[in-house]
Structure formats: structure tokens, C-alpha cells
């Protein structure tokens, strides 16, 4: 009689995690040496991609939309006025710094800075 809840990933006798099945028809528990038949399982997965037009926003689409975000004291290299809005994105791998995007609140010039 099983002491633990029956789950194909755990030994019903001792509760230890069972190893991944190999070429044989059974799996042996590393802790109590009990042997169990492999239950056939099917795994289904679905990948849904967002449409390209939703994931990228063209500058023309922004147009007269209100700029939102924190304003910092940074001089725009296009109009030479103070005040830019910024946001950050992780564009590269996780062990590298974020990319900071700046937008001028006066002329809407955009620039980026890799950190």
C-alpha cells in the first residue's frame, strides 16, 4: 500500500523523485530500490506568437500621442533643450546591461544608450 500520493514523478513507497525513464520499461527508485513500470504519457504544447504589428510601434503611430514616463535633466542632441523622457528594455542577454531609450519632450527626437 502506498504511503504517498501516486504521481508518476514520485516513488509511491518513499516519496523520492524518480529518475527520468531510460531505454527499459521500468524506473528504479534510487532511494528504496523499488521498481515501477513506465506509464505512457503524451505532452501537448501550443506556441502562440503575437502579430508583428502589435509588437512593434512605429514612430508615425505615436504622432501626437502624449509622452509618458519620468522626465530627466538631459540635453537633447537635436534641439539642445533640457528634458527627456526615458524607458529601459532588456535587448540583449540577461547578463548584460539594459538599453535606455530617451525621447525629447520638445522635438520627440529619440536616442538610445547601452549600459
> Binding site for Zn(2+): what residues are annotated?
11, 14, 29, 32, 76, 79, 104, 107
CA-wise closest residue to 111 among 57, 97, 101: 101
Q: How does strand 26-28 pair with strand 35-37? A: antiparallel
Q: What string of DSSP letters covers 48-91? A: -PPPHHHH---HHHHTTPPP-S-EEEEE-TTT--EEEEEEEE--
> Binding site: what residues are annotated?
11, 14, 29, 32, 76, 79, 104, 107
End-to-end CA distance of the chain: 60
Question: Are the C-beta atoms of residues 112 and 103 closer than 8 Å to each other?
Answer: no
Amino acid at each position: 500500500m502506498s504511503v504517498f500520493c501516486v504521481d508518476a514523478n514520485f516513488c509511491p513507497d518513499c516519496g523520492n523523485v524518480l529518475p527520468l525513464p531510460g531505454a527499459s520499461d521500468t524506473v528504479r527508485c534510487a532511494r528504496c530500490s523499488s521498481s515501477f513500470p513506465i506509464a505512457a504519457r503524451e505532452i501537448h504544447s501550443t506556441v502562440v506568437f503575437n502579430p508583428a504589428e502589435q509588437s512593434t510601434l512605429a514612430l508615425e503611430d505615436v504622432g501626437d500621442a502624449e509622452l509618458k514616463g519620468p522626465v530627466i535633466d538631459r540635453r537633447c542632441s537635436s534641439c539642445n533643450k533640457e528634458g527627456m523622457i526615458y524607458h529601459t528594455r532588456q535587448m540583449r542577454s540577461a547578463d548584460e546591461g539594459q538599453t535606455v531609450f530617451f525621447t525629447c519632450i520638445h522635438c520627440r527626437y529619440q536616442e538610445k544608450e547601452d549600459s
